[in-house]
A and B are shown apart, each in its own frame.
Chain A
Amino acid sequence: MATAEIEVPREGLPSLADANRDISRPISTPYKRYWLLIGICLVLIAAAGIAWAIQIRDGMGRAGINNPVNWGVYIVTFVFWVGIAHSGTLISAVLYLVRSGWRTTINRTAEAMTIFAVMTAGLFPLIHLGRVWYFYYLVPYPSTRLLWPNFRSPLVWDMFAIGTYFTISLVFWYLGLIPDLAVLRDKFTGIRKKLYGAFSLGWTGSVRDWAHYRRLYLYLAGIATPLVLSVHSVVSWDFAMGIVPGWHSTIFAPYFVAGAIFSGIAMVITITIPLRWAFGLDRYITKYHFDNMSKLLLFTSLIVGYAYGMEYFLAWFSADPIEIESFRWRGTGFYAGPFWIMVFCNVVVPMSLWFKRTRHSLKALFVISVFVNIGMWYERFVIIVTSLAHEFDPSAWQVYTPSLTEITIMVGSFAWFFFWFLLFAKTLPVISIAEVKEHLAHEHEHGGHS
């Protein structure tokens, strides 16, 4: 699909030693700018921490949620971050299984994003719980009262799905990192050598070891693929299993999975464009990669747009007056603003990606990806809040507006995510060195030089 001019120019093909040097170069003493970014993140995290502490002290009244809208910004942001977590596994596992070579230079970043996004998402059920110290009620442990979790509850499914997803993503990411940690162990001296050495577990690159490694990598890709589909399906069932109009729909699982991939790819683009610029990785993350990512973004945008339309069609086709009213109000009622922001950001803006010029302009891509991130947050807001605010009984209709506590914690979650990402970017290779070398070695040997 890629045209010749956006392929890696062959004469500029880096050597294997170049790959080591270029990719591990950013792992050095950071500049002031980096500390400034870390500082901003820490301030925002501290603000969110204070907001949470106040909420714990005063109770859930600090959040704007009410009855009937008892799921607000916390659950919206939870679903948003779980969604962001999806592209990492998609890029690493699904594209690995279908042998898509273009994943090579972006999979590490996407996997790291997955892990940090799950770490961020995981905080929100705890924050939403109010009395956070009761979180262990979800965990199946033998108690003298013979109390066990209700395994029929989507919230318990959620804990198992997200717990598994986090663990498997971490194993997948770490397995991929082991050979690269060995590269860093051999490059550095002193304490760094010791640390990278300990985490590389004594990796030597023995071909016998690679055989076991490759086998597990394939299996992890194989099991992560159904896992990634299950996780956001389970998240969607948190809603779809309820009888709330606007939620109780069989399309929710594929609708959420497509939305998750859509938002995840957008976040990968939002992050890799500045990362590529800051670390000078132009020779590795090329326009070819961005072109492919934008096509994926366009494709998932079409699925998401189709799902929006289909929700309305199903509401009309059901001939259920409550369902019809719920969807009429969604587009024209109190929350018409968020609804149309969602449609504009997720359906209208990505249509510009039909044009090659847009796909090849990194500035345009960056702006589009930010729009999609905003749009996908609003999508979750629209699904969750508008459905709850306008249920069956008109006397129970009530609107909800987020409180300052909720907004502070939501903003803090972005800072928390980027804080971990910044730490990652300066301590670990943001591109898989071993995989890039595999690709380069074959280019050098079989591709020849022009």
Chain B
Amino acid sequence: MSGILAQFDTLGATKKAIERLMADGHSDLDVYSPFPAPELEEAMGIVASPVRRWALIGGITGFSTATALTGLTAVAYPLVTQGKPILSWPAYFIIMFEMTILFTGLFGFLGVLHHTRKPGRLSAQYRTNFSVDRFGVYVPSAAGAEQSGVEALVRDAGAVEVEVGV
């Protein structure tokens, strides 16, 4: 393995290192953060997550399932109850509303599991202090002269610990 793993203790330094590495053409970085940090996503050039499509598809599925469930079951057994029409849409809308929300949430959660490849094993470059107070920047497959360049760059950006050959 020829990757370099640099650890930082501030958000600002991490962001600086990412920006410089990205400018140097290292777009395949793995960055670890102990808390959600939109600044780092921005620095890495991460665009909106595809989870939104999962949520949308879930919502549409939920709404159509509930429409079919309430409408078709009423038609299948057309018994007038409470003096209301067989297809009482205002009443059925409550079921549609609830199921739209239910499926949006569940599909969105499946989307997150899919895109983050969870459940999964911990990656080799993960260090337990990434869940405490350290940020990690992993630069995969840097070789030879490039390796020393990357090392110098992360140290200059304020890395507190650098591991080579991870």
Residues of chain A whose beta carbon lies under 8 Å from any beta carbon of chain B:
15-17, 20, 140, 146-148, 150-152, 156-157, 160-161, 163-164, 167-168, 171-172, 175, 179, 182-183, 185-186, 198, 201-216, 219-220, 223-224, 226-227, 230, 234, 434-435, 437-438, 441, 445
Q: Do A203 and B69 touch (CB < 8 A)?
A: no
Closest approach, in angstroms, between the C-beta of B38 and any C-beta of chain A?
7
How many residues on chain B are close to A (CB under 8 Å)?
63
Whether the Cβ atoms of A206 and B30 lie closer than 8 Å is yes
Q: Please, how many angstroms separate the alpha-carbon atoms of A171 and B11 in the complex?
A: 29
Chain B residues whose CB sits within 8 angstroms of the CB of A203 once the complex forms: 118
Q: In the complex the two chains form, is A437's CB within 8 Å of B104's CB?
A: no
Give chain A's interface secondary structure class. helix
Q: Does B128 lie within 8 Å of A186, measured CB to CB?
A: yes
Tell me, yes or no, whether B23 is within 8 Å of chain A by CB: no
Across the interface, do B104 and A210 meet the contact criterion of CB distance under 8 Å? no
The reply to whether B98 and A161 contact each other, CB–CB distance below 8 Å, is: yes
- List residues of chain B with CB within 8 A of the CB of A175: 109, 112
CA distance A210 to B31 in the complex (A): 10
A325 to chain B, nearest CB (A): 27
| From B82, B94, B115, residue with most partner A Cβ within 10 Å | B94
In the complex, chain B residues 1-57 whose Cβ is within 8 Å of any chain A Cβ: 10-12, 30-38, 40-41, 44, 46, 48-52, 55
The 6 A-B pairs at the shortest CB distance, nearest first, are namely A16-B133, A148-B73, A215-B49, A438-B35, A186-B128, A201-B119
In the complex, whether B131 has a CB less than 8 A from a CB of chain A is: yes
- How far apart sit A163 and B76, CA to CA, in the bound complex (Å)? 25
Complex Cα spacing A430 to B128, Å: 21
Contact of B31 among A156, A167, A206, A438 (CB under 8 A): A206
Q: In the complex, are the beta carbons of A437 and B105 less than 8 A apart?
A: no
CB pairs A–B below 8 angstroms (17 shown): A16-B132, A17-B132, A152-B84, A157-B98, A164-B99, A164-B101, A167-B105, A167-B106, A182-B131, A207-B46, A211-B49, A213-B116, A219-B51, A227-B98, A434-B35, A441-B35, A445-B11
Within 8 A of A (CB), among B97-124: 97-99, 101-102, 104-106, 108-109, 111-113, 115-116, 118-123
Contact between A223 and B101, CB atoms less than 8 A apart: yes
The verdict on B61 contacting chain A, using a C-beta distance below 8 Å, is: no
Do B116 and A215 have beta carbons less than 8 Å apart? no
Q: Are A205 and B120 in contact (CB under 8 A)?
A: no
Contact yes or no, B98 A230, CB < 8 A = yes
User: Quick check: A212 and B51 within 8 Å, CB to CB?
Assistant: yes
